[in-house]
Structure 1
Amino acid sequence: MNRREALGLLAAAAFCRAYALPAAPAAATPAVLISRRIPASGEMLPAIGLGTWQTFDVGPGRAERAPLEEVLAEFAALGGRLIDSSPMYGRSEEVVGELAQALGLRGKLFVATKVWTQGRSAGIRQMEDSMRKLGARPIDLMQVHNLVDVKTHLATLREWKRAGTVRHIGITHYTAGSHDDVARVLASEAVDFVQINYSAAEPEAARRLLPLAQDRGVAVIVNRPFGGGDLVRRLRNRPLPDWAAEIDCTSWAQLLLKFVIAHPAVTCAIPATSKVAHLRDNMQAGRGRLPDEKQRAQIAAAATGG
């Protein structure tokens, strides 16, 4: 602020006092984004991240990529960091890498992907290819996708973590039917992250996996926070409950995401979207008040008709 601007503000304030006019409101400051600590490293991560399954699997055309460029830019601008992909997701890794480079965002993002193949040599080739596509070496998080050849790849990843090629290692799955297998690996292997499905429609992880992860000091990424999208589609035309305002929610998507991130074991939820309006709505769930256990039960009942 220069001298002329300062004098102008003082004059305006004096005018308001003299004529009993209300002062101009200060610019609204957005609420602080809720963040969680990664137990293995102490690093803080915002509780709302970004998934890329299906949404970022597009061709090289400008018309296809422009909406995703807007989504990624807005995600970072709103304080988002964790973006998750996989070689299973078609072109998603390549698209994320190229857009992040074009936007100058690599240093602002926490980049996570996965290994999804059999055998040590094939796994190394695939992970090297993923890091090249994402422009991320070292990569922030490499996960064994759906526990495919999990012991082989975790052995490689432990070597790579010691060498500084990866910063964190983890395992993933997306079905409740595989939670027992995930729990066995979680109980017997040293990992930094576990990624699992959890939502008001798929609450099974809260019975065993989330407490186990908390006990083991393992960060939790939640995929399918909307139950694969079915919940949001089903609730779209239903009025939002009045009590949603008590936890600063203005949409069903925000309610469903707050149900997830309010669990004390959850580090980050990763809803996927290709629409910037949906991205903004999702990110708002990472701000304001979180539901207590009674309110979480209300969300689950309202979402599932219970």
Structure 2
Amino acid sequence: MEQRELGFTKIRLPVVGQGTWQMEEADEAACIDAIRRGIDAGMTHIDTAEMYGAGEVESLVGKAIEGRRDEVFLVSKVLPSNASYAGTLAACERSLERLRTDRLDLYLLHWPGSEPLEETLRAFKDLRAQGKIRHFGVSNFDQAELSRAIALAGPSEIACNQVFYHLLERAIEHRVLPLCERHGIAVVAYSPFGSGRFPAPDSMGGKVLASIAAAHGATPRQVALRFLLRRQPVFVIPKAARAAHALDNAAAGDLRLTSEDLARIDTAFPLGPDRGVLPTL
């Protein structure tokens, strides 16, 4: 599995990690098996959030990584409604308890909210000083919001921005991705298959993906993930509720596409105009 540095942190992570959104809707035993098999395949970056299943998914992840905590880079997120100074500290404690661990490797604000960002960042820094988190960042922040977070937190503090990014939704490439590149901030792509919007096999884009996949002995989904990873700051965290799906995702980490492949995909799934907004699910 290819690894690259997580922005300015210099921590090397696999380019393909594991998302867990909506895992509460799937079979728990199968999800736990998928996460564990994913870790075996090199996908040691595991992302969750207190929002997912109202804490149920954090508990599931805690079971999956039991006895293997030191093998994984563990990420969770605080809800904006809980992101006051005191609320962030309390939310982190609840997440740690559900995850059965004493620290998070990365803690994110799930999206911009009404609580003062200064207070959320102050809580993050105090949690880091206490050893309960190693790094902190944000999620679903557009260019203006991320610029403000950088200004408030200071340089080399916001470790990542986790955003919605897939072949049919490339809006981050206009402003957010270039800003992250300038500041050494990692970009973590959630729902990289479009959350149910993956191109149909008989569509023009689907045929392009299938053609490139056949040439490399890969699958269309592996090709899609690899295209998103073509720029250095980007990591992807697809969800897999079954072991076979997890292993298919992991194989994208070793796939190499040619410049011609990338150009064909770019043409089939054009960037589109800058609408000035950052889409979310």
**Identity of aligned pairs, percent?**
27
The alpha carbon displacement at 1:99 in A equals: 2.1
Q: CA 1:169/1:236 → structure 2, altered by over 3 Å: closer, same or farther?
A: farther
2:21 corresponds to which letter in structure 1? Answer: W
Match of 1:251 among 198, 219, 225: 219
Q: How does 1:60-71 map to 2 (within 5 A)?
A: 64-71=27-34
Match of 1:289 among 256, 259, 264: 256
1:182 equivalent in alignment to 2:150: no
Match of 2:173 among 206, 210, 222: 206
1:162 equivalent in alignment to 2:125: no
| Alignment-derived partner of residue 105 in structure 2 | 140
Q: How does 1:259-278 map to 2 (within 5 A)?
A: 259-266=227-234, 268-278=235-245
1:127 equivalent in alignment to 2:92: yes
Q: CA 1:118/1:243 → structure 2, altered by over 3 Å: closer, same or farther?
A: closer
Is the CA contact 1:171–1:193 (under 8 Å) kept in the aligned structure 2? Answer: yes
Q: How does 1:89-108 map to 2 (within 5 A)?
A: 89-90=52-53, 91-101=56-66, 104-108=67-71
Specify which structure has the bigger relative contact order, considering alpha-carbon pairs within 8 angstroms and separated by 6 or more residues. Answer: 2
Is the CA contact 1:259–1:291 (under 8 Å) kept in the aligned structure 2? Answer: no
Q: CA 1:40/1:255 → structure 2, altered by over 3 Å: closer, same or farther?
A: same
- Cα separation, 2, equivalents of 1:187 and 1:291: 35
SS state of the match for residue 189, structure 2?
Answer: strand
Instruction: Give the total of aligned pairs.
Output: 259
| Alignment-derived partner of residue 77 in structure 1 | 40
Deviations 1:229-288 (A, max 9, x none): 3115x3388555433355x3521111110111111221x200112122211111111003
| Alignment-derived partner of residue 278 in structure 2 | none
| Alignment-derived partner of residue 17 in structure 2 | 49
| Alignment-derived partner of residue 191 in structure 1 | 158
Q: Unmatched 5+ residue regions in structure 1?
A: 1-32
- Cα separation, 1, equivalents of 2:263 and 2:59: 40
Is the CA contact 1:113–1:142 (under 8 Å) kept in the aligned structure 2? Answer: yes
Q: CA 1:160/1:291 → structure 2, altered by over 3 Å: closer, same or farther?
A: farther
| Alignment-derived partner of residue 34 in structure 1 | 2
The alpha carbon displacement at 1:79 in A equals: 0.8
- Cα separation, 2, equivalents of 1:123 and 1:105: 26
Q: CA 1:245/1:187 → structure 2, altered by over 3 Å: closer, same or farther?
A: farther
Deviations 1:108-135 (A, max 9, x none): 1111001112422222111110011112
- Cα separation, 2, equivalents of 1:303 and 1:206: 13
Q: Unmatched 5+ residue regions in structure 2?
A: 273-281
Q: CA RMSD in A?
A: 2.4
The alpha carbon displacement at 1:295 in A equals: 2.8
| Alignment-derived partner of residue 201 in structure 2 | 235
SS state of the match for residue 93, structure 1?
Answer: helix
| Alignment-derived partner of residue 19 in structure 1 | none
- Give TM-score scaled by structure 1 length: 0.77
- Cα separation, 1, equivalents of 2:100 and 2:33: 19
| Alignment-derived partner of residue 298 in structure 1 | 264
SS state of the match for residue 159, structure 1?
Answer: helix
- Whichever of the two has the greater Rg, that structure is 1
